[in-house]
Structure 1
Amino acid sequence: MQKKADKLALDINRYSGRIKPLHGVNNCPIRFGEEKIPEFESAGIPFVRTHDSGGPYGRGTLIDIPNIFRDFDADPDDPASYDFAFTDIYLRNLVNSGCKIFYRLGITIENFYAIKAYRTAPPKDFKKWARICEGVIRHYNHGWAEGFHYGIEYWEIWNEPENPPMWSGSMEEYFKLYSTTAKHLKKQFPEIKVGGYASCGFYAVTRDGMNDFYRSFITWFDEFLIYAKKERAPLDFYSWHLYTSDLDELITHAEYVTKKLRKAGFDRTENIFNEWNYIDKTAKGYAKFDFMKEIPAALFIAGAFCRMQDSPVDKAMYYDAEPSRTYCGLFYFPSQRVTPAYYAFKTFNELYKLGNRIECSGIRTRNIFTLAAADEHAAAAMLVNSGKAERKIELETSASLKKAEITLLDKEHSFSLVKSLLRGHILTLPQESILLLRIPLKEKTSGTGTHSNCCEPEKENRQNFAGLAG
């Protein structure tokens, strides 16, 4: 039993950087008859990665290069060679919802490649494939072929080439495709960011007994960095994946990636964690997909947001947010009602909207995670209790708590306002809950010297693999 309240200090006058865009996702509900995705707009989803969009083979219509450029022998300079119809609507709905696109150039995973593989072979002409990708970028960023001016910044070259359902070529062939494409695209569009390769991840770094297949992911990473450096291939970001229930493992992998990048001389390459989800180790078979939607997953997600804020991860994108997908934790299917896991994203977004991280310190309990943010008008703190006992928290802050509001997510509350958890400066944090404390502030006066320019908004012009089985 807790003998005395934990102390939590919120320093609303001390900004310490920006809240990172960690609540990105992969994909979205398919709603061709609508103009936007209201749930994404409400949760402020900052980035949507377009990999495995629409289901097997991209529904034959979405995102994938073979869906957009159906005849590889056609002319990549001719607009008639491209079929953008459904991808146009898919991306329009995301842009209308306030999301930025993180576009994966390549193919959807073919989980049943052992029966027959359709698109996993390397393109027969790497230079032409790069020109086809150029046409896609020109359409969405420069209005070509009756296109748009979306200013899509991130372009990812393939996904998980270490994984047979994604790539049947050799490691060296993928490296050549990457280098050829990255160089060509950066020459044509120096303002964009190119990268890859959406690695399967580094399970062998933290887990004993991994077989040669898992250990090969490390070899791929090492050899890729050597090749990219030798060939002077642009690498604006490096992307990687992990499916786990262990937050310490997540942070260890993030640190591993950045350490490797810096050691190889890629000092400015972004660390982008663009497939992740909660895998309950106790769940058997398909039951693990049910757990992805519920309170245990929500607690893991919110805890991950808190931990990643202090990690080398620059951006994160959860897999997955398409309701029919087994890995989708944000929607029930077929109703498309949002889940407890969705509300972890919505809670974090309240901090992201405020922008400036503020000092939030004092609690040392392993099962409690905290993160706080503020602007001139309001402050907010997210408190996550993944333990099975409620905690009393004594808040230490110069801000008045008289008009503070509390929103709670637990087994009885779905992101609901509650009034009974704050008494003076003592906050009750229920077991297995995510609590959002909102504090209105008076207009801050200038000249205090506590808010530096570094806090200005950024200027922005298979079991453990995410699959489609089921």
Structure 2
Amino acid sequence: MQSIRPANIPSNSSMDVTFRCDLGVRGEDFPHFWEHTVGSGHATLALRADWQAQMRRAHDELGFRHVRFHGLLDDDMGTLIDQDNQPLYSFFNADQIFDFLLSIGMRPFVELSFMPTMLSSNGQIIFHYRANVSAPKDSGQWSTLISKLVGHWVDRYGLEEVRQWFFEVWNEPNLEAFGSGKQEDYFQLYAATAKAIKSVDIQLKVGGPATAANAWIEEFIAYCSQNSLPADFISTHHYPTDAFGKTGDDTETQLSESTRSVLREEARTARQQAGDRPLYYTEWCTSSNPRDPLHDEPYAAAFIVKTVMEARGLVQGYSYWTFSDIFEENYFPSEPFHGGFGLMNLHGIAKPAYRAFEMLHRLGTEILFMQGDHPTVDSWCVRHGNVLTVLISNFALPRHPITSETVHIELKNAPRPATASIQRVDTENANAKALWVGMGSPEYLNPAMVERLHSASAMPEQEQTVTWRDRTLGIEVTIPPLGVASIRLEFAPFA
């Protein structure tokens, strides 16, 4: 799928945006760390058939290997309830979810939250589904619940399997919305939980502090060291809206006050603080607003590609929040494009963000050095065997300058390609929301509308013209604002 013509490419090009790569130089390993885990919303949603269908698709097409969600211990899961003033343990619903995940080749990243009402010390709740976020009134009863639950999973799935899971204690305990917001309260909860898990098997993986905005990492490690507690991994969250703008600012203003690579800088800090321990970001997204229109638009795709590529070498897992708009923290929506966190909307229609992860999944595992710099355009060169992918994004934060750019790629020591193709995400490509708006933004869709939107969300491969002479391969492509392009080159097998 290409047109190849000879050309002279000057070494000192005066082209607008130029990136160069030498294919004769060995690159670095490029593990797909972003595929380790993906986020979901509320545990009971995982019992729904549509949730499961979308989860299967995200695993098959995007490569996600674990999923993390809130509320596994909530009353609506029935994990522990008060029956005639006696504890009634029921792990059936949790088992149904985990049985499904294992059946499709996935595993849980187990967030141990929130507090069963029977164990809660007060009535503090959060979210539409009324999750109790108080501390346990009796740490011994909490420990019993954790050891029974984890022990049950070991009995059901086998020790070898459960040793591959991750047990994360609570969610964002530094925020008063999820408890007291006090370190000492969380550290006590962590100590009780970690001891209960390790009492089942010493090799099971437990970690935290599961904080918002990179908080408490150093203090958490120090506390565990001082108290001989395990901390097998470090987990935290970040969003580009964290701590930007003023109280009451809208999301666009917060993002405009952020910086273009803020998540990379935060990940570097967290990496230093975590030391040799594995570092997992168990939540990140384009913003922390569950009703942000940008979640549904090409902006998200450009942000995702740039952010993931910049996190290379800093994290072991990078869990996007979330894979689906089947989500109910505020309320369960009906509008097809309502600015939800998901990569797919309620109907399973792929958003531009989904297509970004599809591009990333198709990348190889050897990243080459790419020379070039531009205020809004970034490019990467990734190889797998005889296939080379050039990934390009044109990204700027809201209210920051950005224009359409003609990008020139020069690849030295390149064999003549057998095929060359391009996939795009931008306002004109893989943008189902634009069609929905053109339909009049209907709140409810009939089957014919859903089919049309699925078609509009597609990201077909198209022919890409390249030039090749004297083992130098040239590519010229125009990238609109907030656009992403993935150029795939296939070469004949090397001798």
TM tier, shorter chain?
0.7 to 0.9
CA contact (8 A) 2:370 2:381 kept: no
Q: Which residue does the alignment assign to 2:463?
A: 419
**Shift in Å at residue 413 of structure 1?**
1.6
**Shift in Å at residue 164 of structure 1?**
2.0
Which shows bigger deviation, 12-21 or 176-185?
Answer: 12-21
Aligned amino acid, residue 211 of structure 2: S
Question: 1 CA distance for matches of 2:147 and 2:494?
Answer: 48
Aligned amino acid, residue 486 of structure 2: L
**Secondary structure in 2 matching 1:124:** coil
What TM-score comes out, normalization by structure 1 length? 0.74
CA contact (8 A) 2:126 2:132 kept: no
Question: 2 CA distance for matches of 1:127 and 1:100?
Answer: 28
1:241 aligns with 2:241: no
Question: 1 CA distance for matches of 2:225 and 2:79?
Answer: 31
1:267-282 counterparts in 2 under 5 A?
268-279=276-287
Q: Which residue does the alignment assign to 1:450?
A: none
Question: 1 CA distance for matches of 2:149 and 2:63?
Answer: 26
For residues 354-411 of structure 1, give each alpha carbon's deviation from its aligned partner in whole angstroms, at most 9, with x where no partner exists: 3x22213112113222334333343323221224222222331424323122221112
**Shift in Å at residue 343 of structure 1?**
0.9
Q: Size of the alignment, in residue pairs?
A: 400
Match of 2:80 among 59, 62, 69: 69
Aligned amino acid, residue 358 of structure 1: I
CA contact (8 A) 1:48 1:100 kept: yes
**Shift in Å at residue 321 of structure 1?**
2.4
1:339-358 counterparts in 2 under 5 A?
339-351=351-363, 354=364, 356-358=365-367
Match of 1:294 among 274, 289, 297: 297
CA contact (8 A) 1:140 1:149 kept: no
Q: Which residue does the alignment assign to 1:317?
A: 319
For residues 229-265 of structure 1, give each alpha carbon's deviation from its aligned partner in whole angstroms, at most 9, with x where no partner exists: 2102111111111121544221221122222333xxx
Aligned amino acid, residue 105 of structure 2: G
1:439 aligns with 2:489: yes
Question: 2 CA distance for matches of 1:18 and 1:3?
Answer: 30
CA contact (8 A) 2:211 2:235 kept: yes
1:329-348 counterparts in 2 under 5 A?
329-333=342-346, 335-348=347-360
**Secondary structure in 1 matching 2:238:** strand
Structure 2 vs 1, CA of residues 115 and 270 (structure 1 numbering), >3 Å: closer, same or farther? closer
For residues 306-330 of structure 1, give each alpha carbon's deviation from its aligned partner in whole angstroms, at most 9, with x where no partner exists: 11114x2221101122313364231
Q: Which residue does the alignment assign to 2:405?
A: 390
Q: Which residue does the alignment assign to 1:44?
A: 63
The alignment yields a C-alpha RMSD, in angstroms, of 3.5
**Secondary structure in 1 matching 2:367:** strand
Bigger Rg, which one: 2
**Secondary structure in 2 matching 1:140:** helix
1:228 aligns with 2:224: yes
Can you give the 5+ residue segments of structure 2 that lack an aligned partner in the other structure? 1-13, 117-122, 241-254, 328-338, 396-401, 431-458, 469-473
1:16-55 counterparts in 2 under 5 A?
16-23=28-35, 24-27=37-40, 30=46, 32-33=48-49, 36=53, 37-40=55-58, 41-51=60-70
Structure 2 vs 1, CA of residues 376 and 120 (structure 1 numbering), >3 Å: closer, same or farther? same
For residues 148-182 of structure 1, give each alpha carbon's deviation from its aligned partner in whole angstroms, at most 9, with x where no partner exists: 95654211011111222212374323212212221
1:179 aligns with 2:191: yes
1:12-161 counterparts in 2 under 5 A?
14-23=26-35, 24-27=37-40, 30=46, 32-33=48-49, 36=53, 37-40=55-58, 41-51=60-70, 60-61=76-77, 67-71=78-82, 81-107=88-114, 113=126, 119-143=132-156, 149=161, 152-161=164-173
**Secondary structure in 1 matching 2:296:** coil
